[in-house]
Amino acid sequence: MQVLSERRQLRVWFIVAVVTAVLLWLLADVLVPFVAGMVLAYFLDPLADRLERHGIKRTLATTIVLVGFLLVLTAFLLLLAPLIYDQAVGFAKNLPRYLSEFNMRIMPKLEALRPQLGISGTVTNEVAEAVRERGAAIFDWMGKAMGSVLVGGFALFDVLATIILTPVVAFYMLRDWDLLVAKVDSWLPRRFAGAIRQIGTEADHSIAGYLRGQALVCLILGTFYAITLALVGLEFGLVIGIIAGVITFIPYVGSFVGGVLAIGMALAQFPPDWISVAVVAGIFIFGQAVEGNYLSPKLVGDRVGLHPVWVMFALMAGGALFGFTGVLIAVPVAAIIGVLCRFFMKQYLASKLYDDGHVPPFQVPPMLIDPNAPESTEGIVDNGAPPPGTT
């Protein structure tokens, strides 16, 4: 009866998990402010805990932390929003000129390389035709996307609801965070409470180490790229630097996209001043060197156990399944899955299923058998390794 009861409990929990996933998929757009509020509360919880340890009440500590964060964010947006808007409008107006200058400066050099590359026809015409085809497809997609946004009657309402609800949800989640954790801990089955707490601690360590560390990396790189590109004189360097810094959250993608945008703009703007083009390329090379050798090891570290490929897959899968809500929860879910996989692998390696104490006799792999070897060597190729059982 006890086994049957446990099976029923597992069946119930499985059904709960499936229903939760289905509801998350159906209500993905509605859940954005709530998930964003939870993520924000998770980020700010260490600051609130620190203030609470200094004798400040939890509600007051929550208010100070959240209001301070919103003030900093608002000031940041007020300072940058006009600049970003002006640069975006300027880029749209000057795009034909950039394409024309790129065609005049770069295409003749590509045309000169045509015989060496064995390309028939005219490179300029082929590239221009490809640009026209891709450009038409891109603008058609943008038109459809903008049309869908404008047609959606609740688009503005969704934006306003997200802006208003996210701080409210973050306030209540941040104020009651420790109480919620304690309540969930009280619901754990007593027999497995220790193992579940261990998994939860490792998952929290992995999530916090990656999210908070990667956020600092994005902030530092975005600031560095924006300032240096602006100082070099690259047009729209501020916007390009911010874009490169923000999408650094996706491993390898941020540096690649930012580098392509910056170097492409430099090729359209600076030649025949090739030194400035090299400086722009050097900025991204230097930024990636610092990020790979110092920022990520110090701020993120290898201890979080999240491989870049696993992070990229999680972000793409979360976005494809649940939209922006899926992007918000992708890394935490990926971290939890990684911790569970390592936990169960550790249990497997410590079980009799992996090692029951029986050592099989040594057998020579077929690839090591040499049919032409003398009988005294027993058909084993001498590769310098000691025989089994010797030191």
Over residues 352-361, the pLDDT tens digits come to: 777 777 666 6
Tokens of 279: 């400086």
- Contact by Cβ (8 Å): 103, 124: yes
Closest to 214 (Cα-Cα) out of 296, 151, 137: 296
- The Cα–Cα gap between 226 and 248 comes to 13
Structural Rg of the chain based on CA atoms: 29
- The Cα–Cα gap between 34 and 36 comes to 5
- Could you tell me how many residues make up the chain? 391
- Contact by Cβ (8 Å): 225, 240: yes
Which range is most confident: 44-48, 160-164, 232-236? 44-48
Over residues 53-71, the pLDDT tens digits come to: 998 999 999 999 999 999 9
Q: How far apart are the first and last CA of the chain?
A: 54
Tokens of 210: 């990656």
- The Cα–Cα gap between 356 and 354 comes to 7
- The Cα–Cα gap between 52 and 48 comes to 6
Rounded mean pLDDT of 162-171?
A: 86
- The Cα–Cα gap between 77 and 75 comes to 5
Task: Choose the weakest-confidence range: 178-187, 220-229, 241-250.
Answer: 241-250
Sorting pLDDT into bands at 50, 70 and 90, what band is 275? confident
**Where in the chain are the domains?**
27-187, 193-353
Over residues 199-241, the pLDDT tens digits come to: 888 888 878 777 778 888 888 888 898 889 888 888 778 888 8
Rounded mean pLDDT of 178-204?
A: 84
Omega before residue 167 within 30° of 0, cis: no
